[in-house]
Amino acid sequence: MLDQPVRSLGASDMQITRVGLGGAGWDGCDDQQVIDTIRYAIEHGVNWIDTAAVYGRGRSERLVAKALAGVAAADRPQVFTKCGHIWDTTGASKELRKVGRPSNIRREVDDSLRRLGVDRIDLYQMHCPPEDGTPLAAYWETLLELKQLGKVKAVGLSNHGVRQLAEAEKMGHVDSLQPPFSAIRRQVADREIPWCVEHGTGVLAYSPMQAGLLTGRFTRARAEALGEDDWRAAVADFQGARLERNLALADSLRPIARRHGVGVPSVAIAWTLSWPGVTGAIVGARRPEQVNGWLSALHLELTAQDLMDIADAIERTTAGSGPVHPG
């Protein structure tokens, strides 16, 4: 396993690499392909994997367990997963429900521990605010209880806002926040990230390449060819003038990528990591060779000029919304 730079996850003693492998996009891959991808990322220095019980309805967690079974104990990455989504185990319905009941979370953590094949989960996160009427105090108290019991090492919130973070923090420390964050989707840089800096909460940014828009490989033709089963086909960022603005921003990253001898994906990821308080970025890969497209982000540090150039490009293209510069 290669050594890569690490950062502390908030106020915790967890040391994580700047980039972690995300497990949300493995549905179209066969098992061995996923296992090979996980092991390839680990061999090249990635020391954490972010998944969730709902990804593949338990399949993602099971594949993480299979991949780690062949990894030496000294090289095993930290495993982060999430709770709060439940599905019909009979397969009769594809509907997912966002549930925060304490009894459900206690069942979910045991199921995740079993699927992952571990005695303790490194970071356990509430996936989204629930829709079943469970108040935050009830589900956050449950996560803190799991931490006290030793079933999880740290606890965090995903897709929660400042008010919810503040409410949870009064009960017990929020170790991490996992928000969407990219050079296109920048809203959390206005309130949530500064809050996390102030309170010693680590930030794990997901979708730093905005679902492919900031890879430098996405085109209008590709957007028009998205199938009905691809959620991006119905999203405004992949349509019309917004798509053109987003692609123009991606193009503006090319000169910066050339300056550093890296690909556009690494620049897009490094931009999110340049914001104070952002500990790591979650990046997906479906094949080992896709990992190579962003490995350089593990150590890429953008210069002040790079950040100014990107801020200028955001303002010029008017892509997305939110603060444009981490300074």
Which of the residues are catalytic?
55
Cβ contact 45:2 at 8 Å: yes
The residues, ordered by sequence, that sit 6+ positions from 145 with a Cβ below 8 Å of its Cβ are: none
15-17 vs 6-8, strand pairing mode: antiparallel
The residues, ordered by sequence, that sit 6+ positions from 41 with a Cβ below 8 Å of its Cβ are: 21, 49, 285, 291
φ and ψ at residue 262, rounded to 5 degrees: -130, 175
The residues, ordered by sequence, that sit 6+ positions from 258 with a Cβ below 8 Å of its Cβ are: none
In 179-259, where do the E strands start and end? 202-206
Query: Could you identify the residue written with the tokens 């500990």?
Result: 279
Cβ contact 297:265 at 8 Å: yes
**CA dist., res. 238 & res. 223, Å (int):** 6
Query: Could you identify the residue written with the tokens 């915790």?
Result: 12
The residues, ordered by sequence, that sit 6+ positions from 305 with a Cβ below 8 Å of its Cβ are: none
**CA dist., res. 265 & res. 261, Å (int):** 12
**CA dist., res. 121 & res. 182, Å (int):** 27
Tokens of 142: 């449950």
